[in-house]
Structure 1
């Protein structure tokens, strides 16, 4: 898998006692004024160095973030993205990262983190262009960023201020994947510097998909001109991403049941969830009914983003009292999401007295006798346009008055986000027997009549026909002036900030309507298939503006040069964008309906109390941070898949959470130890329930030892048990299963026999443990003898990669 390949090929620079945290003296540049260290900032902030991330083997963008406490990462959807990223107990009700923004160099990747089939983690790839990842939870994320009251996570790029680079080659040891990485930065002269880097990859990943499923490249570059007077700079940047990766939406196993408790997992006979993939050679290409009403052959590509971006930064200090900073980025983003989901069912039940026959492959025409069958969505979504234009202008003034140092930051954020999509979601049957190349199955009734073709039961007929054939073209424009006032009086720091977001929504959606049956012929004969298509009739017009206010207040006291304590209260708004369409949220003129107005903005309030400390224990140096928090949100949203499952699509519930975040690192000579953790309790106040997928405790322990000539380390990454969030086998939505806690181990070893040369080996899931991190549930139709099929994305099995890298 491509993202697993990153770690050794871009292994960290040789440095004894490397830490996951850049220290409390790091200047915070994310969701902050940009002139304070972590120690003196009254916010919960974590910065993780490139070296630390590379050492501990991330397999997806969500796993890059696992070192950050407070985040709830349901991250096993694969390297292409599509993770659910929650924070501080705030719910992830419809997928994506609703309350969390991902940024590159201070500007959002997308305006909304949960765009349908376009989540913000689709468009990022961590590589050696990144200097560090910085994350602010709560607090100023409400007022220094739009649509991110939960957290802002920023990928901060290298800019050539440090001369040097590396080139590396990585290969999978027990799977087929190759990757080449490079990066280089230097000064051209005293005032001009640049950095360039990227990767190229090719393979089929650790699930051994029967075609080249992981391939592509990324290249990023920037050039910076420092002004002669030393008061600022101007920077230009460019990025090109074209990378295809599989997405693992479901990897089933058997679960033993004891009441509502899941007591363990084991493999379905013939199926190892740690290696399972729902795509292969026989569904690599499949047929859709496109928006023009024509049948079209398309390719199964997983998540395939194509992004081109151009950026500019201008920073100038006119004098000691006045600074101007402007960041600009234009991005063209498009691509495809194509995947075969897994929906498990007992074959006998799905056949309903008939039979299934292989529709392709060496057994074509023979009867399928497997115990289970896959009956689910075969999706092809064109992300026609997810491009954006963003600009953030900030003016900083500093002055002294009555013995107090006052800093005022004021600015205007602007972002235009396009969301143009076309959905083609068919329902299809295929084998579920562990074959690395699943085969389409045709259903025949008891009289021998063929009911499906190439496994398809129809075109655009998933989720009850409501959503299989959707098209829409939308634009959201957010204009947000903001103001922050910071006052330092001796050891006391006070700050207050406010942000005014005004979001304009325009565009149209088109009506999915039932069409005439289409007769399709395959190797076994022909079948007449029902269709839903996207008509040329406009279903909804969007033409409305929603404005709202976010605010934050904080205070920090510097107890001494090594210790500080802070308190903070904040409220941030989060605009619901394309999740509202097709939900009767708009009047005929495009304005918000009464129901749409209630759903349009969610507000998060938070209270925080934190302490930060650095010091020494004997010869060992350490940094430690502890934050206690409370959070409240009334989650209003719309789940378009709910009607097909017999549920109300309108989501409205109030959640309260509280907990503690902890982050620390310790260095003793060549030894380094990083420990992070989060304790969280969340309650659904409206329904009197505990939400699913919210473990009470998540933790990460990462010791390493680096002599310079060689290095070794491992990571223990785990969580306690949690509710699955899914209905029980009885079908009662008020009953939930408890999924057991899990701990997974990764390890690395590096040897540097000559200056600049490094050999590395990394192992993911060292003990090959079968288990699940995220949500999921028992499939009702599969219950037999006190066990059933558990449906979710599993942790991949043990995967080993080796690398050769040269640093210069």
Structure 2
């Protein structure tokens, strides 16, 4: 961390010693802070104003002070702090549902979401999504195994607004993300002290406290501080706190006639339940119902009986693990944004961010399907992972005592622990010059240095009851060799199948040029970027060992442990990206645009680099994108509609066996997608509004006509023809429709709204063999503003207790339903209602 600290302090000191400070342009986004003389008491912007095409957007462009929304030739969605609260997001990732074409799978809990972007063939984690704070990416790679960037960012009252862009110019700026980037811009200090204090109680025993205050520090200096703390049992109650922790954020801003400097710091310490798939019954191809004894809306396998364990296979001799720590984050951030007007058409901008900490995972991961204890012990059914023991030879006992009924439904699941320590520092510097009236050229340099230190204990199959709040089971059996222990005294059938230690270091260097030319009603931009990613990853080699030397303790006879040697992989790639856009303003309230861009996706430490040798890493995924759009705003209507054609090449398929170990040659394929995104609102009369956010996607896989082999212990092995198959996990049609009505009173007003969400047919993986069906939900909200200082908010999600699926068992390729129709899947959480009372000053 010493190297990171030195770099960050150098950047901060250099900024502070500049002779003046300035309000300037932003690359991938930065706060457009008001000058000192206009820093009045903060006011909450209205939803109507937030939709105006006059709103300034700073993300994805190089214009000094940003661009008006009507001038942006790309898809951009914005939300004020109030609109963020109206969306009632379950997590940071869940907020992305407000952007057409983005679909976060938030059924896994507060963190670790899969984020799908229409036309981008992801299928897991978030490889095509970047989170920015004040315009700086949170980490050098958008995703790693057991990590995506929303996992280290929490929403609270310190967030002023968010800007979400897709494709287009993002391939050139910041980290060159080819997919989507959301930029969270923090609230800053005000000339008149202002802020808020709020308390929230939720039906899942949620208790939350939020606060924010902005204030003057000295002449032209302003500060702010805020954060939250909360605890919750969760809709799926694990018998301990599902979510517990908080966040603290502070900013310090200085304004002058020529510029602005903002320094900010944030500390996050939060732990969250990572929700595991539960059993359901599948009928036909896409009809699902409750499994006997399991409420699909509220139940979870997690419970006190399996909360605390000791994992003997963890690198270094074992480690205690706690489900209560979930998929948490303990991360510190320090960053700064500096803008300066040099005069004579020159502008300078610099942004840096330093962050680091632990992002650990303590969670269950699904394996094979459940079955009765008798079948589990004495048959060889692969779909339930049965043991095929001699009939009558075994004794099964609950941990803590008591015989297990032979008819008891049981299952074995992986109790995984992943320690992930991340460090990151990045800096984005740019210099702009107005070449002639209306034409500005910008040159920029983006540098990032980041590391990863991991220790994994994957596998650790625990035999447990197939019930809510499961109980672990121990098994012994007798054969000619004597008494054998199938499990240890915690119920573990093994001590891991992948117990690795790994260390990764990477540096990204990018240079970009952007020219923006305004000629009358035309706005034309052309930008290019050349980026190099130089990374290496060391992973310990594994040797199977009998840990206790006793052949009769079956659970530890062949445990893969680090043997003191390492596999070293070097990854060094350079790739250019470009974007070209044209916007024409038909009228003051109407514009059309077209855009083309090409970009590439670099490999990350865990996906593409680890497991491959130097020079034989996965090919770069490349995209070409063409899009066009129309924007219109009147007193009654707002419309932002776009159409696109996206093509990918270089996607990689790796066949694996039932344990997830690669067992065949890698193959490449591509995708081809066409679609439409729409964001529109209609206010036929004052205070009444109808809003629609949605997208239609016609996307399929391409560039591979062969039959891809796969291993499936549930439905049987085979091969899949993927050419023409629908993109995995991406609905063809998704939309949210929200009517709202505001009722004014002498003492304030009341806003009431409902949101109907429809998610169309979607599939589990690239084979298309496991359908996940479609579903719809109803949410609601009532917000009362009382006088100038009080706000009361009542909001609820999934009020009709809809049973909808976002994914099935991700470790099963192809059909995941067994012969009995049992499937492990992640359904939506049931009804959730919360009430907040807030005092604002």
User: TM-score range with shorter-chain normalisation?
Assistant: 0.7 to 0.9
Q: 2:396 aligns with which of 357, 362, 384?
A: 357
Counterpart in the other structure of 1:7? none
Residue number in structure 1 paired with 2:448: 415
SS in 2 for 1:644: coil
Shift of 1:600: 4.4
Q: Alignment partner of 1:578: what SS? A: coil
Provide the rounded CA distance (Å) in 1 between the counterparts of 2:261 and 2:786.
41
Larger CA deviation: 342-351 vs 38-47: 342-351
Secondary structure at 2:493 match in 1: strand
Separation of aligned partners in 2, 1:651 and 1:142: 26
Among 469, 472, 487, the alignment partner of 2:502 is 472
After the TM superposition, which of the residue ranges 122-131 and 27-36 deviates more from structure 2?
27-36
Aligned-pair CA distance for 1:652:
1.7
1:282 is matched with which residue: 286, 302, 305?
A: 305
RMSD: 2.7
Change in Cα spacing, 1:74 to 1:425, as seen in structure 2 (3 Å) is: same
Residue 188 (structure 1) shift: 3.8
Picking from 344, 348, 352, the partner of 1:328 is 352
SS in 2 for 1:63: helix
Check 1:582–1:285 CA distance in 2 against 1; reply closer, same or farther (3 A cut): farther
Whether 1:267 aligns to 2:290 is: yes
Q: Is the Cα contact below 8 Å between 2:495 and 2:555 reproduced in 1?
A: no
- Alpha-carbon distance in 1 for matches of 2:796, 2:648: 39
Residue 124 of structure 1 and its aligned partner are, at CA, apart by 0.9
CA separation in 1, counterparts of 2:561 and 2:347?
52
Which blocks of at least 5 consecutive residues in structure 2 are unaligned? Answer: 1-41, 380-388, 705-721
Counterpart residue number, 1:115: 144
Separation in 2, partners of 1:161, 1:356: 70
Task: Output the TM-score relative to the length of structure 2.
Answer: 0.84
2:237 counterpart SS class: coil
> Tell me, what secondary structure is at the counterpart of 1:274?
coil
In the alignment, the residues of structure 2 paired with residue 781 and residue 497 of structure 1 have an alpha-carbon distance, to the nearest angstrom, of: 45
- Give TM-score, length-normalised by structure 1: 0.88
Q: Is residue 122 of structure 2 the alignment partner of residue 83 of structure 1?
A: no
Aligned residues: 750
Distance 1:485 1:755, change over 3 A: closer
1:661 correspondence with 2:677: yes
Change (3 A) 1:644 1:21: farther
Q: Which residue of 1 aligns with 2:640?
A: 625
Instruction: State which drifts further: 633-642 or 105-114.
Output: 633-642
Structure 1 residues without counterparts, runs of 5 or longer: 1-12, 462-467, 587-591, 727-733
Alignment of 1:443-458 (within 5 A): 443-445=475-477, 449-453=484-488, 454-458=490-494
Q: Which residue of 1 aligns with 2:728?
A: 692
Mean Cα deviation higher: 233-242 or 632-641? 632-641
Alignment of 1:181-220 (within 5 A): 181-189=210-218, 191-220=220-249
CA shift digits 1:83-118 (9 cap, x unpaired): 11122221114x221122111111111222221122
Where does residue 567 of structure 1 map in the other structure? Answer: 594
Q: Structure with the greater relative contact order (CA < 8 A, sep ≥ 6): 1 or 2? A: 1
Shift of 1:769: 1.2
Q: 8 Å contact 2:594–2:627 — kept in the other structure?
A: yes
Q: Residues 87 and 419 from structure 1, CA distance in 2 versus in 1: closer, same or farther, beyond 3 angstroms?
A: same
Tell me, yes or no, if structure 1 residue 611 matches structure 2 residue 621.
Answer: no
CA distance in 1, matches of 2:49, 2:673: 27
1:120-519 counterparts in 2 under 5 A? 120-161=149-190, 164-173=194-203, 175-189=204-218, 191-227=220-256, 229=257, 231-257=258-284, 261-262=285-286, 264-289=287-312, 291=314, 293-300=316-323, 301-319=325-343, 321-343=345-367, 344-347=369-372, 348-353=374-379, 357-361=396-400, 364-369=401-406, 372-383=409-420, 385-400=421-436, 405-435=438-468, 437-445=469-477, 449-453=484-488, 454-461=490-497, 468-518=498-548
2:666 to 650, 671, 688: 650
| CA deviation after TM superposition for structure 1 residue 352, in Å | 2.5
| Aligned mate of 1:673, from 686, 690, 694 | 690
Contact 1:694 1:722 survives alignment (8 Å):
yes
Tell me whether 1:716 sits opposite 2:756 in the alignment: yes
Give the direction of change, closer, same or farther, for the CA distance of 1:345–1:147 in structure 2 (3 Å limit): farther
In the alignment, is the contact (CA less than 8 A) between 2:461 and 2:493 conserved in 1?
Answer: yes
Asked if the contact 1:16/1:669 (under 8 Å) is kept, the reply is: no
Residues 446/678 of structure 1: CA separation in 2 closer, same or farther (3 Å cut): farther
Q: Secondary structure at the match of 1:695?
A: coil
**Which sits farther off after the overlay, 547-556 or 707-716?**
707-716
Q: Name the counterpart of 1:807.
A: 840
Q: Using the TM superposition, name which of 557-566 and 146-155 deviates more.
A: 146-155
- Relative to structure 1, the CA distance from residue 15 to residue 539 in structure 2 (aligned partners, 3 Å threshold; closer, same or farther) is closer
> Shift of the alpha carbon at 1:704?
2.1
8 Å Cα contact 1:307-1:332 kept in structure 2? yes
Answering whether residue 581 of structure 2 is matched by residue 542 of structure 1, we say no
Partner deviation per Cα, 1:508-534 (whole Å, 9 max, x = no partner): 21112211143899xxx9765234344
Structure number having the greater strand percentage: 1
Contact 1:444 1:450 (8 Å CA) reproduced: yes
How far residue 670 of structure 1 moved from its aligned partner, in angstroms, is 2.2
Say if 1:167 and 1:182, in contact at 8 Å, map to a contact too. yes
What does residue 102 of structure 2 align with?
71
Alignment check: 8 A CA contact 1:519 1:527 kept: no
> In the alignment, does 2:621 pair up with 1:602?
yes
Correspondence for 1:703: 739
Structure 1's 512 and 53: CA in aligned 2 closer, same or farther, altered over 3 A? Answer: same
The structural deviation recorded for 1:488 is: 1.4
